[in-house]
Structure 1
Amino acid sequence: MRFLLATAGSRGDVEPFFSLASVLREAGHVVRVAAPDDPDTGSDVDSVSLGVSFADLGRVVADVSGMRAFREHIRPAMRTILGRAMDEAVNWRPDVIVAHPKLLTVPIVAEHLGVPYLTVELTPVLSPTGEFPAAGVLNHSLGSAINRLSYRAAAVGERMFRADIRTARQRLGLSGSQNLFPPAGSLVAVSPTLLPRPADWPTTTHLTGDWPRQPSPEGNLDAAVRDFAASDAPFLYAGFGSMRGGDAATRAEAIVDGGRRAGLRVLLATGWGGLEPPQRCLGGDVLVVSAVPHAAVLPHAAVAIHHGGAGTVHAAARAGTPSVLVPFLADQPFWARLLHRSGLTGPPLDRDRLTADRVQAAIADAVDRRPAVDRVAEKMRAENGPATAAAVITRIAAGTGAS
């Protein structure tokens, strides 16, 4: 069978799709991934570009006001992505499409081709439940009814790009209806160990477990990173991925000084600019890199200080590495609350109020939580999210008579 996997966003939105693609290909299927230009996934899966670099887009919009950024940069980029995703599906003609919810033209092209599609929730944002609000929409549970209503926020995206949806339908000769073709199901790429399945989710919502990047052989690591991680002296990992904004230099200095006070070396990943260590805080006990493969590095770290993105949350938990969360936006406060309630982390730190004292205290608290983190890690290592998701996809494809 032929499967098209389509996604858009930063590394955390892209790498899971390549992990799933690898499993589907190993099962004998023909798989293609349509994705942005940015991440070097290290995968040899067949892939095509959607024509936009999210790293470049992030840098461009960082210093532009919200509406101007949307009008001059975000909307044109999304128009390119939506058009290319649709063109790729029309030309390649898959049996099933598996897509990130950002790709609003996927339902249209699936309707045109007469094939099923599944949406992917890398964090719970689409499948309504009364147990908790949609990640990134509300910061606290406000009761079952309000929680369920919060999932309607996803429709805002449809309204923002209504003109593009209408144009896509016209290009494919479909009626002018704005009602999107419904998905065959939703794949929630989240660990059931971290987030037990809500009792009120429909049977079409599949909690598969997350889709982690396959660990690279440690011999493939940058030599400096490999040597740093292999040393007997303990270290903390700090990285905020694609997050940026605020005083990145003061933030980095607080983490380095707090780590030193805790007796730890520091492996600091600057990412897209969330951390920018000043020269005055550097030394032989600090290694600064742009990014590292979490699966290869986190198992060696004493503590991980990070933004709380879904991918990093899962990677640290699976590695058995205690976390200190510093959420910025979107779904990150959701994960910070969830892990704190579960006893896996302390209270999250404010990204704009980091001090060496607060970082040192948070590190001490995180280390004390290692037994609970170890228990969760053991359970998560027994999960196989990509295989579970692949089984759902192939079952749906078989049900449509795809060859």
Structure 2
Amino acid sequence: MLITMLASGTRGDTQPYIALGIELKKLGLDVRISASESYRELVESYGFDYAPIRGDVTKIIESGVVKEADNPFKFFSSLKNDDLMDLMVDAQEDQHKACEGADAIVYHPGSTLGYFVAKEKGIPSILASPFPMVPTNEYPAIIFYDKIRLGKLSNKLTHLIFEKGFWKMANSGFKRYWKEKNGELPKGFTNPYPKQRTKNNPTIVSLSPSVFPVPKDWPNHVYSFGYWFIEDQSDYQPSQELHQFLNAGDAPIYVGFGSVGDKKRAKESTKMVLKALNGTGKRAIINAGGGMEQRQNTKDVFFVKSVPHEWLFPYMSAVVHHGGAGTTAASIRSGVPQVIIPFGNDQFAWGRRIKELGVGAKAIPRKELTAEKLADAIRFTQTASVQKKAKQLGKKVKSERGAKKAAELVLETIKNYQS
């Protein structure tokens, strides 16, 4: 039995599907993952059948084609670009090819082709979202979460706006591809998200109910079991230099701004971070990938690239990062406090939620970041109450085993569909 999973976006978007795929394989299912060419090696390293999506997503984002959006309405226009549209059409073709022979399709909200291909083939589709994708009156939609609150009716309205806007973004490349291939759009071509709330076509959110409680007004067949983590990191072996650094003193601070941070500001950002760290007296590990400059290691600062967060973060005393959903989740699971420096999209929501949960400092928008503000935030994370709350939440999240439960639901969905 073959499951095709359509990932969409950066490493933070792709890695949860790998975690889910590992659990599906444990249940005896074959798994194919369609993801950007940037992540071929990552996907294949876990033994999956890899289906490429043309284009290196890291280089695409670094090129400036995709604009980071610091308010909800910029978010909906951030992908309007002719060059990007061509890439999106190519991606549709690649993902369609990846669905050949599948018995079920698991897809990211940005890969709505998965719903229509599953319907065409007569197989189940599972919407697998890294953020809440179902309207509720209990809290605002993710891109409105850090904005003014106006009550339950307003909360639900933000979800409807988000759902409609996200569908508009997701369907543009699909419509052009499908028309070019078939001459017309598929029958019943409407927003698929509301249709993914049935026994045969459920929605699963890769999110911890300890971080965002499951809303009482969510319909049946929408599930939030917990984050999807790659549980076993025993195969990872750090370099001897990193191992020695970790054991040479107090637990360091991690600083990293994601796989696609602003390379143009790398020198400035690194200088600012080092100044802040100097003001706290803390040792640090700096991710020299997105938005941070590679420099010579010192006795107090060690530069890394591509170290698994799930392995590294438990050794830290705090994590400073951009607020990507995946990095936020890994930080929470590790039981260490956070400082989020958001610069676009859903990052502001995670920044606010971390503060609300008491497991981190108040977020500092990238435009407002200074060495002094960062130093103050780091010092806040070292207080006993914040450290205690972060550790308690980490234990809860770690015990949830969200990927395992999601995989069991996928298998149950397929069996129900075939019976």
TM-score relative to the length of structure 2: 0.87
1:297 is the counterpart of 2:312: yes
* Contact kept? 1:38, 1:55, Cα under 8 Å: yes
5 Å-filtered alignment, 1:337-352, equals: 337-352=352-367
* Contact kept? 1:304, 1:316, Cα under 8 Å: yes
5 Å-filtered alignment, 1:4-403, equals: 4-39=4-39, 40-41=41-42, 42-61=45-64, 70-89=80-99, 91-92=100-101, 94-124=102-132, 126-140=133-147, 141-152=149-160, 153-160=162-169, 161-162=171-172, 164-165=174-175, 167-168=177-178, 171=181, 175=186, 177-180=188-191, 182-183=195-196, 184-217=201-234, 220-245=237-262, 247-272=265-290, 274-276=291-293, 283-368=298-383, 369-401=386-418
The 10-residue stretch of structure 1 (191-200 or 242-251) with the greater mean CA deviation from structure 2:
242-251
Moved over 6 A (4+): 63-69
Q: Aligned equivalents of 1:87 and 1:154: distance in 2?
A: 27
Q: Aligned equivalents of 1:330 and 1:219: distance in 2?
A: 31
Kindly provide the CA deviation profile for residues 3-53 of structure 1, in whole angstroms up to 9, marking residues without a partner as x: 111111101110110111111111111111111111343422222111221
- Matched to 1:378, the amino acid is K
* Contact kept? 1:236, 1:303, Cα under 8 Å: yes
* Contact kept? 2:255, 2:285, Cα under 8 Å: yes
Structure 2: 5+ residue stretches without partners? 69-73
The 10-residue stretch of structure 1 (37-46 or 311-320) with the greater mean CA deviation from structure 2:
37-46
Q: Aligned equivalents of 1:159 and 1:320: distance in 2?
A: 37
Residue 340 of structure 1 aligns to a residue in which SS? helix
Residue 396 of structure 2 aligns to a residue in which SS? helix
Q: Aligned equivalents of 1:229 and 1:186: distance in 2?
A: 40
* Contact kept? 1:188, 1:207, Cα under 8 Å: yes
Residues 29 and 149 (structure 1 numbering): CA distance in 2 closer, same or farther, change over 3 Å? Answer: same
Deviation of 1:57 after TM superposition, in Å, equals 0.7
Q: Aligned equivalents of 2:346 and 2:78: distance in 1?
A: 24
Aligned-residue Cα RMSD (Å) equals 2.5
Q: Aligned equivalents of 1:128 and 1:289: distance in 2?
A: 40
Q: Aligned equivalents of 2:327 and 2:286: distance in 1?
A: 14
Deviation of 1:243 after TM superposition, in Å, equals 4.2
Residue 81 of structure 2 aligns to a residue in which SS? helix
* Contact kept? 1:249, 1:278, Cα under 8 Å: no
Deviation of 1:322 after TM superposition, in Å, equals 1.2
Q: Aligned equivalents of 1:62 and 1:86: distance in 2?
A: 24
Q: Aligned equivalents of 1:38 and 1:98: distance in 2?
A: 20
Q: Aligned equivalents of 1:170 and 1:110: distance in 2?
A: 19
Deviation of 1:334 after TM superposition, in Å, equals 0.8
Residue 142 of structure 2 aligns to a residue in which SS? coil
* Contact kept? 1:215, 1:295, Cα under 8 Å: no
The 10-residue stretch of structure 1 (154-163 or 320-329) with the greater mean CA deviation from structure 2:
154-163
* Contact kept? 2:317, 2:382, Cα under 8 Å: yes
Residues 356 and 68 (structure 1 numbering): CA distance in 2 closer, same or farther, change over 3 Å? Answer: closer
Query: Which residue of the partner structure matches residue 71 of structure 2?
Result: none
How many residue pairs match? The answer is 396
Q: Aligned equivalents of 1:68 and 1:3: distance in 2?
A: 31
* Contact kept? 1:251, 1:352, Cα under 8 Å: no
* Contact kept? 1:218, 1:226, Cα under 8 Å: no
* Contact kept? 2:62, 2:260, Cα under 8 Å: no
Q: Identity of paired residues, percent?
A: 24
